[in-house]
Amino acid sequence: MPNPVRRLLLLTAAVLAMIFLTGCWNLEEIENRSFVLGVGFDLTPEGQVQCTVQLPRPQALNFARGQSPVAPQEQFSSITATGATPWDALAQINKITSRHLYLGHLQVIVVGEEMARQGINPVIDGLQRYAVINRRAAVVLARNARQIMEAPVRGELTPAMYFQTFFSSKPTPESTENVPIWRVRHDLLMPAHAAHIPRVTLADGQFRLEGFGLIANGRLSGDLPGAQARGLALARGQVRDGSFALKTGDRSVTVRVQKVGRRLTGTWWDGGEAHIRLSLDVHGQIEENDQLGLAIPPDLYTRFEAKLANQVKEEAMNAIAVAQKSGADVFNFGEYMRIADPYDWNPDRWAEKFRTADIQVSARARIDRTGMFE
């Protein structure tokens, strides 16, 4: 007869195998999911949160060979509902749809201006708690989020895909930047509690990404328009492929900036005033020369470098002045001051200190080579 102990062990092993080999016990069929590509949040005049989700129509996108594509407005659908909070509004949409909303393929989160002025923290916190959300989804600011979610865009299958294509298929212009949801949350949790979010506008059926909204303590506190947005990237040392048109005398060139390095020094003066020195090192090359085949003499190079340095300094100072007025330290100066002197650091008062901080900017430029083809 078989050993009873051995039989018991075999039975136990079989039971354990059944427990760990249960398969997809929590399986949810793909046909039962609604894939959300974009979500927008607005504040209604009554103080309610209006949520709009953008859903693709697979049948419309997968047209047969030889058949004409469907109209842009037929390639996606949008659903809108209101609730007391952003998460409640999203839950109301879940009650309307026949399928469960799935945010794993989310491409963009659009926040309306009024919603951002009241507070963006509930939007970011609620979405970040969603287990399967795409944390690389871009966050953008618009005058009306629902309008962006419902607007068909020429050349794109869905409006949400425009943002994914814009930020991933080419170098980002210096007047805007891809700011994913994880980074917004990170910046708002930093000691300065400030973040910047790119702005999007709609005109003639086409989106335009230019400028930033400044977020301080979770609320929209100011704006950097397109003309000043590059100064933000310069002061942060993050410009890549920025173009500067320079002219001195009767000669003009276009310089492409390849790299901007920055150095910070900061001290606390008597009375608790912050004193910050920002030094920028700019490296670029000449991409365009108005005199074909005519060499640029060394003294002219020096003058172009001085022009470039002055323009970089001016743009950075303008962006810093706007941010100081808004109380939004989007340059991480506060983090540097905290590390440099933690004893005089007070996170609750930094926004006030940043407004009155003495910030001086200096810039040095070097044009490494002409960029001419051999």
Q: What is the mean pLDDT of residues 159-178?
A: 81
Q: How many residues does the chain have?
A: 374
Say what the pLDDT of residue 227 is. 75
- Confidence band (pLDDT; 50, 70, 90) for 59? low
pLDDT at 206 over 70: yes
What would the two tokens of residue 263 be? 């150095």
> 223-268: per-residue pLDDT in tens?
998 878 889 988 988 876 678 888 887 788 888 888 888 998 888 7
What is the phi/psi pair of residue 229, to 5°?
Answer: -65, -35
Question: Which of 81-85, 131-135, 196-200, 345-349 has the least mean pLDDT?
Answer: 345-349
DSSP state of 180: B
Say what the pLDDT of residue 60 is. 57
Q: What is the mean pLDDT of residues 107-129?
A: 93
Cα distance between residue 136 and residue 106, in whole Å:
9
Task: State the angle between helix axes of 181-189 and 121-128 in degrees (0 to 180), rounded to the nearest 10.
Answer: 120
Only one residue has tokens 């210096």, namely 174
Say what the pLDDT of residue 343 is. 78
Cα distance between residue 234 and residue 146, in whole Å:
32
What would the two tokens of residue 168 be? 């991933």
Only one residue has tokens 């004193």, namely 275
CA 11 to the chain's CA centroid: 56
145 vs 32 pLDDT, higher one: 145
Half-sphere exposure of 320 (CA within 13 A, CB side): 23
Say what the pLDDT of residue 193 is. 80
pLDDT at 94 over 70: yes
Closest by CA position to 76, among listed 19, 107, 36: 36
CB 359 within 8 A of CB 320: yes
214 vs 259 pLDDT, higher one: 214
pLDDT at 80 over 90: yes
Say what the pLDDT of residue 374 is. 36
CA 230 to the chain's CA centroid: 14
- Helix H, strand E, coil C: the string for 227-268 is HHHHHHHHHHCCCCCEEEEEEECCEEEEEEEEEEEEEEEEEE
pLDDT at 30 over 70: no
- Confidence band (pLDDT; 50, 70, 90) for 270? low
pLDDT at 63 over 60: no
pLDDT at 285 over 70: yes
In order of start, what are the domains of the chain with their CATH numbers? 30-224 (no CATH), 227-374 (3.30.300.210)
What would the two tokens of residue 301 be? 């190079």
DSSP state of 188: H
Q: What is the sign, positive or negative, of the torsion defined by CA atoms of 28, 160, 92, 115?
A: positive
- Confidence band (pLDDT; 50, 70, 90) for 348? confident
Closest by CA position to 44, among listed 122, 132, 145: 145
Say what the pLDDT of residue 71 is. 57
What would the two tokens of residue 68 be? 């004409």
Only one residue has tokens 């209604």, namely 44
Amino acid at 333: F
